[in-house]
Amino acid sequence: MAKTSPEQSEKAAVRLDKWLWAARFYKTRALAQEMIQGGKVHYNGQRCKPSKTVDVGAVVRLAQGFDEKEVTIQVVTEKRQSAPLAQMLYVESEKSLERREQNAIARKNNTFFAPHPVNKPDKKQRRELLKLKLS
């Protein structure tokens, strides 16, 4: 398998949705297109279309589940590769890493304060809960 050199990556015109798919941010190109059109992906601080051509050094801010990532494009490619190779296509900013870590801690702490019950309340318990809510 041949590696993509920086000279080759600058010559290639790759769509943003294709690059996001190749970098393994989204499972399918269709999903990447939906996220871009839905405003979940910003290219250099602005909303864009899926057909936007990407450049080396551009900053992409994207949403993935609960997390929001800010990455700088290092290599432009349209071929989907293995996950370790895909991680070499970009560099995530330190600020983004800190923010994701803080959000993960907050989500984890939130589950301690709002635990889910083991099972659903039965009919009698539901009536008691309704009495408490109405009074």
pLDDT above 80 for 24: yes
Q: What is the mean pLDDT of the chain?
A: 89
Distance CA 61, CA 69 (A): 6
What's the rounded mean pLDDT across residues 37-54?
95
Q: Which residues contact 15 (CB under 8 A, 6 or more apart)?
A: 50, 51, 52, 53, 54, 78
What digits encode the pLDDT tens for the residues 25-45?
A: 999 999 999 999 999 999 999
Domain boundaries, the chain: 6-112
Give the whole-angstrom CA distance, residue 32 versus residue 86.
16
Q: 5-19, 51-65, 92-106: which has the minimum mean pLDDT?
A: 5-19
Query: Distances from the Cα of 48 to the Cαs of 8, 11, 20, 36, 61, in angstroms?
Result: 24, 21, 13, 7, 11
For residue 81 the two structure tokens come to: 């590769």
Please check the confidence at residue 128 and state whether its pLDDT lies above 80.
yes
How far is residue 94's CA from residue 45's CA, in Å, rounded to a whole number?
17
Give the whole-angstrom CA distance, residue 81 versus residue 48.
Answer: 25
CATH architecture of 6-112: Roll (3.10)
* Predicted local distance difference test score (pLDDT) of residue 42: 97
Q: How confident is the model at residue 100 (pLDDT cuts 50, 70, 90)?
A: very high
Whether the per-residue pLDDT at 56 is higher than 80: the answer is yes
In this prediction, residue 65 carries a pLDDT of 87
Is the pLDDT at 11 greater than 50? The verdict is yes
Whether the per-residue pLDDT at 53 is higher than 80: the answer is yes
Residue pLDDT, tens place only, 69-90: 999 999 999 999 999 999 999 9
